[in-house]
Amino acid sequence: MLISADQIGHQFAGQLPLFRNLTFRLSSGDVVALTGPSGSGKSTTLGILAGWIRPSEGRIERFGAGRTLWVFQNPHGVPRRSSLSHVMLPFLAAGLSRDEAEDSAQRILEKFGLAQLSNSLFQDLSGGEAQRLMLARAVAASPSLLLVDEPTAQLDSKSASTVIDVLGDLGMNGAAVVIATHDARVRDACDRTIDLGAF
Ligand SMILES: Nc1ncnc2c1ncn2[C@@H]1O[C@H](COP(=O)(O)OP(=O)(O)OP(=O)(O)O)[C@@H](O)[C@H]1O
């Protein structure tokens, strides 16, 4: 187990409580949807999991010392760099040789349906491809906790489908993955759901 949250709740100063009595566990390889109406506290919960926000109630415990990565709504890449170089970078940073980094990156690009775009520049990718690349790069960095904020919010339905196709692969390097989303198709692609609307 990676994270255990027991009866957590949060209330910003001067506001009504957002949610209370939220209890869940996260383990390596879990891919979990975090759902709930706008304003129900999804981003706040990601902030709690990232350690940026201390819940005003309850207890959150972390086990192990892995890193946490956050993938934002808008894909941020380097315009004139190739897909391959984006995914190689975390492997190079981890000390792999160029050949090893390239092999590992190619494997992940394949998993994420981007193999044929490995030499394409980031600036030439579609919205869905760019978002998939951000997810692939995050997986390449082997986080123990991967937080994903609304991965389909900026995308048309076709691009969103290509992103949804890869969500199941996000846990492949052992990360626990939490995806804040309004999108029922994203929710259905995850192993389980934490619904803030129920609190
Ligand atoms: N730092 C803060 N101080 C005070 N209030 C805040 C702060 N951050 C968020 N809130 C409020 O807490 C509520 C929950 O916000 P949050 O962003 O967690 O919801 P959300 O479920 O992610 O919403 P959305 O789906 O619209 O992104 C909102 O009413 C928001 O205005």
Please provide the distance, in angstroms rounded to a whole number, between the alpha carbons at the two ends of the chain.
24
- Ligand 1: centre distance to CA 93 (Å): 34
Instruction: Say how far apart CA 138 and CA 86 lie, in whole Å.
Output: 10
| Nearest atom within ligand 1 for CA of residue 47 | 18
Cα dihedral sign, 155-159-160-164: negative
Q: Using a 6 Å CB cutoff, which residues line ligand 1?
A: 12, 15, 18, 36, 38-44
The domains located in the chain, with CATH, are: 3-198 (3.40.50.300)
- Ligand 1: centre distance to CA 44 (Å): 6
Of all protein residues, whose CA lies closest to atom 9 belonging to ligand 1? 44
CA distances in angstroms from 79 to 35, 73, 76, 165, listed in the order given: 32, 17, 9, 24
Query: Best mutation site among 20, 22, 42 for ligand 1, i.e. most ligand atoms within 8 A of its Cβ?
Result: 42
| Nearest atom within ligand 1 for CA of residue 180 | 22
Helix 127-140 / helix 83-93 crossing angle, nearest 10 deg: 20
What's the confidence (pLDDT) of residue 65? 83
Instruction: Say how far apart CA 30 and CA 1 lie, in whole Å.
Output: 10
Of all protein residues, whose CA lies closest to atom 11 belonging to ligand 1? 39
Q: Encode the chain (199 residues) as per-residue pLDDT tens digits.
A: 999 999 999 999 999 999 999 999 999 999 999 999 999 999 999 999 999 999 999 999 999 889 999 999 999 999 999 999 999 999 999 999 999 999 999 999 999 999 999 999 999 999 999 999 999 999 999 999 999 999 999 899 989 999 999 999 999 889 999 999 999 999 999 999 999 987 6
Q: Is 69 helix (H, G, I), strand (E, B) or coil?
A: strand
Query: Best mutation site among 40, 48, 70 for ligand 1, i.e. most ligand atoms within 8 A of its Cβ?
Result: 40
Instruction: Say how far apart CA 140 and CA 46 lie, in whole Å.
Output: 21
Query: Best mutation site among 12, 22, 178 for ligand 1, i.e. most ligand atoms within 8 A of its Cβ?
Result: 12
ipTM (interface pTM): 0.96
Of all protein residues, whose CA lies closest to atom 4 belonging to ligand 1? 12
Looking at the chain, list the stretches that DSSP marks H as alpha helix, in order from N- to C-terminal side. Answer: 42-50, 83-93, 98-111, 127-140, 157-164, 184-189
